[in-house]
Structure 1
């Protein structure tokens, strides 16, 4: 498995990726305060209150009164900021940190925020369509981050990314290989997932599809797709 560490891809339009960092801060804050157990043991309450529950969203079930804090439609957004554990949070935030800055750079701050949230909403709707009577809360930023991954792959497939192979071996590969492998893994997982699978693979697919479509329309004018016009270093000629 490839674990991304960093990419050699400087910002071209923005001085700093404020929205990417803000999203990470908000996700970490929600985890520490509501999920981690440091202040209160509230994982189940938080998941059922702010997670998207397809059976409730589709009116097959009613949410108990103690969990019905926000309108069910709002959970299309709130579920994106709740994570079920530290590794769940860390993996999503790592991918967002490595790849979000350049997608934000290609769109601008506010457009990127809209893009991120829309990818998360699309991911939830696809998950809801695939499992309309599920009573398990959908939580996590994976759907939105999947959209970021798709956008990065559309924008910068030829950029080199440092990854850890099998969590140990550092390697520098093109983003097309790293993220392409990740996309294939999601499709394979959807096709082979067990009935009671705890990972919402369809949400990942929904986020990927939304990101691939939205980046075409939401990138800045003049920002190319697929690294068109990318200038790479050419070794000097030897006489």
Structure 2
């Protein structure tokens, strides 16, 4: 599901939200322009859990140094067949030294991304939900909240996998905190949502609790599967879960203490369902 827009207008220009998107975009451009190297910014500013736990530990990172085609025998109805697959030759190498004290990497890692889809997806969600959260928290409060959510998300991942030597990067956890705060702050909001279902794309207006609830259940399911499986998906699911929970908790407490600005009234979104668009090929989102 992809949010297209919501029905909560901002009272002020979300300068901090725009600045966060701009800073993250600048960091991503630097990542793209840096020379091809073993680790780069990902290892120097990303969070390596084992390094945070023990800053003096010698961190080695498995690195692909080559690949070859191997054949596996598999049983089929027609008998045994040989199926080709790519096998990577992996060697351990020392990780690049951290550019900042390792204890700061749970913060610095939230400004780095692993690719275009990772970056664009995160920034779009931040663009959709961040302006309204900034509206309630105020500019200074929103900046502190965003950074705190990012650190909390990083620490959530660290707690679930403290011996990992894989660098952790991405703003997903901080943005999950923003989404949690949005849910608490605007429980009656509605989100126009693009829903791709195989060859059909639907656009529906969903209540924000439904949209965010489905998103959170997916993260929770994947997070539980990650800690019970020996295989890895390359996604820090518990950073998303922790960030969302912390963001919702902070917003709930501040709202109860009347430290947040009043909620902004919603405006109607078109509830008319758009006709499904049939496409010949599914699009990857």
Instruction: Give the TM-score taking structure 1 as reference length.
Output: 0.86
| 1:51 and 2:8 aligned | no
- 1:30 and 2:27 are equivalent in the alignment: yes
Confirm or deny that 1:198 pairs with 2:237: no
Change (3 A) 1:211 1:231: closer
CA distance in 2, matches of 1:93, 1:200: 17
How far apart are residue 43 of structure 1 and its match? 8.0
Answer yes or no: is the 8 Å Cα contact 1:107–1:218 preserved in 2: no
- Note the residue ranges of structure 1 that are not aligned, 5 or more in a row: 234-239
Structure-to-structure mapping, 1:205-220, within 5 angstroms: 205-218=241-254
Q: Deviations over 1:110-151 (max 9, x none)?
A: 100000000111111111110010000110001100100100
Whole-angstrom distance in 1 between the partners of 2:96 and 2:5: 43
Cα deviation 1:96-123 (Å, max 9, x = unaligned): 0000000000000010000000011111
Count of residues paired in the alignment? 225
Distance 1:130 1:16, change over 3 A: same
Is the radius of gyration larger for structure 1 or structure 2? 2
Residues 16, 139 of structure 2: 8 Å contact kept: yes
TM-score, structure 2 as length reference: 0.73
Higher strand share: 2
Aligned ranges 1:1-239 → 2 under 5 Å: 2-12=1-11, 15-34=12-31, 36=32, 38-41=33-36, 44-59=39-54, 61-63=57-59, 66-166=96-196, 168-193=201-226, 194-195=229-230, 196-218=232-254, 221=259, 223=261
- Call closer, same or farther: CA 1:53–1:66 in 2, change over 3 Å: closer
Displaced runs of 4 or more, over 4 A: 63-66, 229-233
Higher helix share goes to which structure?
A: 1
